[in-house]
Amino acid sequence: MKLTKKLAALLLAAAAGLLGLSACTDDSGPDTPGTTTQPEKGFAADSVIGVSLPWLGTTNWAEASKLLDSELAAAGFKPTVLQADQKIEVQQQQIESLIEAGAKVIVVGPEDGKSLGTVLEKAKAEGIFILGYDRLLENTNAVDGVVQYGSVDTGREQAKALLAGLAAWKGDGPYNIELFGGGPADPNAPNFFKGAMEILQPKIDDGTLVVVSGQTTFQDCATEAWSADKAQERMDSLLATFYSDKDIDGALSPNDSIARAIITAVQNSGNTDPFPTSGLDSDVLSIEWIAAGTQYSTVDKPAKDLVAKTLELIKILQSGKDLPAGTGTAKNGVIDVQLFELPPVAVTKDNACTVFANDAERFAAAQC
């Protein structure tokens, strides 16, 4: 039986309607069940960029805060730079506030690298990019990359400088030393210690170095919250307990403020001989001590270079491009995180003027 022209036209119209409905269904919005909204790549050049740092109690963090604020603003972004005063819950609240403020990128120098997963995952679900600054963000998949100085390399540089200082200031060994580590909540601190022990352990094994207290694990040597006061108290105790009848020749120190605390404890004990320690952060006061022959070394991790690398990555994300490959990866307990690492530099009196040639304040402190 043949279709009439009228019936054929009706069928063709119905078919067209079904095709149109199908097309609309394929282009459904984010509220349609079964679909997922993917954040668009790129964002406005004047977007809010959030920063949460752990504290401003050491030179490197204070400099980072000022530089991140000024450099982000100079690049056309709207920076909101916060610091958590070493309080985990404050940092969690700060990141919440940056999410509410509409930040497109949040840069985090964690107080405790293991304690921010929930709030970072909330930020990531909002399409916000997460960059770690100077410390690894752990136990979360909500991290796009971490900008830092090589932490194991930093420890190696500290140990090599300590050995050089012992040879220069104490002559031939064996040498009696003690070991200090950084704050256990800081994911860099165990790596500093690990790198240092790669250099020092063979010298302990062959008798060149003697750790008189026997305290050689990171757990034994860690300094809670990087507190210089706690480090000085521990050094006072070590001297009273283990060195009543022998001399101490030097100490591994994880940063400059702890180095100065160790040296002060030794001086207070009546030992005014040159006392070599390592250090970190190129504190201006420690550079003055290095110039005066009181502290042997520090390790330079210039904040300006770390901030410049962070800004470079933010601009790449703003343009809509993917981040480039990093210098390596680190396991954070959930994923392998892309690292963008810069090389640390050991500084002594011999090279301070070269290292700080473009840093007027430190150049002057080094008495160049």
| Dist. CA 254–CA 208, nearest whole Å | 21
Q: What average pLDDT does range 131-151 have in this prediction? A: 97
Read off the tokens for 153.
């390399």
Q: Of 97, 99, 186, give the one whose Cα is nearest residue 142.
A: 99
Total domains in the chain come to 2
Domain assignment present for residue 281? The answer is: yes
Q: Which long-range contacts (CB under 8 A, 24 or more apart) does 85-94 make?
A: 85/55, 86/54, 86/55, 86/57, 86/111, 86/225, 87/111, 88/112, 88/115, 88/116, 91/52, 91/54, 91/116, 92/116, 92/118, 92/119, 94/52
- The CATH code of the domain that includes 111 is 3.40.50.2300
Domain assignment present for residue 92? The answer is: yes
**119 and 157 within one domain:** no
**280 and 326 within one domain:** no
Residue 4 contacts by C-beta under 8 Å, 6 or more apart in sequence?
none
Task: State the residue for tokens 């256990």.
Answer: 184
**314 and 242 within one domain:** no
| Dist. CA 182–CA 258, nearest whole Å | 9
**243 and 157 within one domain:** yes
pLDDT at 41: 78
**175 and 70 within one domain:** no
pLDDT at 7: 34
Q: What average pLDDT does range 333-346 have in this prediction? A: 97
**309 and 286 within one domain:** no
Omega into 30 within 30° of 0, i.e. cis?
no
Domain assignment present for residue 31? The answer is: no
Domain assignment present for residue 192? The answer is: yes
pLDDT at 32: 34
Domain assignment present for residue 115? The answer is: yes
pLDDT at 38: 41
Domain assignment present for residue 25? The answer is: no
SS3 147: strand
SS3 2: coil
Prediction pTM value: 0.85
The pLDDT mean for the chain works out to 90
Interval 17-76: pLDDT, tens: 433 333 333 333 333 333 333 446 799 999 999 999 999 998 899 999 999 999 999 999
**284 and 180 within one domain:** yes
**98 and 224 within one domain:** no
Q: What average pLDDT does range 333-350 have in this prediction? A: 97
Domain assignment present for residue 36? The answer is: no
**192 and 121 within one domain:** no
**287 and 193 within one domain:** yes
Interval 255-306: pLDDT, tens: 999 999 999 999 999 999 999 999 999 999 999 999 999 999 999 999 999 9
Domain assignment present for residue 311? The answer is: yes
The residue range of the domain holding 134 is: 48-143+302-343
**168 and 59 within one domain:** no
Domain boundary among 256, 291, 326: 291
**320 and 252 within one domain:** no
